[in-house]
Amino acid sequence: MSAFENPVLLVIYRRPDVTRRVFEAIAKARPKRLFIAADGPATSAEREACELTRAAVRQVDWDCKVQHHFSDANLGLDRRMISALSWVFSEEESAIVLEDDCLPDARFFGFCSSLLDRYRHDSRVVHISGECYRNRREGDCSYFFSKYPLAWGWATWRRAWSRFDPHIRTWPRFERQPEAPALFDSHDERVYWLSTFARFHDDAAARRPASWDYAWYYACMTNGLSIHPAVNLVSNIGYGPQASHTHNPDELSARPVEQLEETLRHPDWVIRDRQADLDTFDRRFPGAILREQRSFRHQLGRPARWAIRTVRRGLGL
């Protein structure tokens, strides 16, 4: 694969095995500019794992300008991601972003790079994702537009990152606008996101821990559209005890990637796919779970589940 112009940011921490696999995928893509940001160990017991992880990304054997931002202190996932992204966009107009557990298909890099160039000056588009949760591929276009800026392998521009506010301070004003509920296509979706953003805003105002990605969701969902590929291009291989959030494997863990045509076929209009957004809410977010919880079968089983939980607590399980 020939090198491409848009830089890649890789964010790592303490998992050398998964980091090595993601770095090997980057090496095959041969970007001309590579930024690597690492968080520092939270405890002395983590120091060796952090050093092994950093060692796994040092062998750059292609023509590439490499810059490192390795923290001595532990910043935590949110501060590390925000500072890494701000670092990159202080120097670059655009970037492709991978965390250490997001394993991309080879076509992911060309997909992101092509669309970064195509929509570089189109303010309607703020994010490019490598994930796809649409139930089936519709039509022959290589991608579609969504309100969801999915962040397991993604790309964006400095102009979009400038909209990011970790405290989502505009939320109280935005939630009073008719555009707020109109952004969502079902009752469950509307309730989930409006309550999530309200809780996030309150947590940030009270300086309680909050997730960087939800602030990025808010920035993108209120300022433009995201691009999703017609097929899935990134697999999250990091589920497990050392993950920051995804401890227990589920249907989102290690999802297979699919083949996407090299010559992209572009949609005729920049309009979001509402059905695809509903599919995404079902499969990537709790849409399907919320619907199941209202079902007659679920309600019928509540006494039995309550009894099982009571017995397990009594047994100390």
Q: What is the pLDDT of residues 93-124, one digit of tens each?
A: 999 999 999 999 999 999 999 999 999 999 99
What is the rounded distance in angstroms from the CA atom of residue 73 to the CA atom of residue 146? 37
The mean pLDDT value for 254-269 works out to 96
Is 131 within the bounds of a domain?
yes
Number of structural domains in the chain: 1
Q: How far is 26 from 22, CA to CA, in rounded Å?
A: 6
Host domain of residue 95? 8-285
User: Would you say residue 189 lies in a domain?
Assistant: yes
Does the residue 280 lie in any domain? yes
CA distances (Å), 106 to each of 29, 233, 259, 261, 285, in order? 7, 8, 9, 11, 26
Q: Is residue 295 assigned to a domain? A: no
Q: What's residue 298's pLDDT?
A: 40
pTM: 0.89
pLDDT band at 312 (very low <50, low <70, confident <90, very high): low
Domain membership of residue 219 (yes or no) is yes
CATH number, domain with residue 19: 3.90.550.10
pLDDT digits (tens, 9 = 90+) for 30-43: 999 999 999 999 99
Q: Please name the residue that has the structure tokens 């392998």.
A: 153
92-96, 184-188, 235-239 — which is least confidently predicted?
235-239
Decide if 107 is inside a domain: yes
How distant is the alpha carbon of residue 98 from its chain centre? 9
What tokens were used for 125? 């588009």
In a domain, 317, yes or no: no
Q: Does residue 42 belong to any structural domain of this protein?
A: yes
Burial letters 2-29, b for 16+ CB under 10 A, else e: eebebbbbbbbbbbbebbebbbebbbeb
Q: Which two tokens stand for residue 231?
A: 């097929």
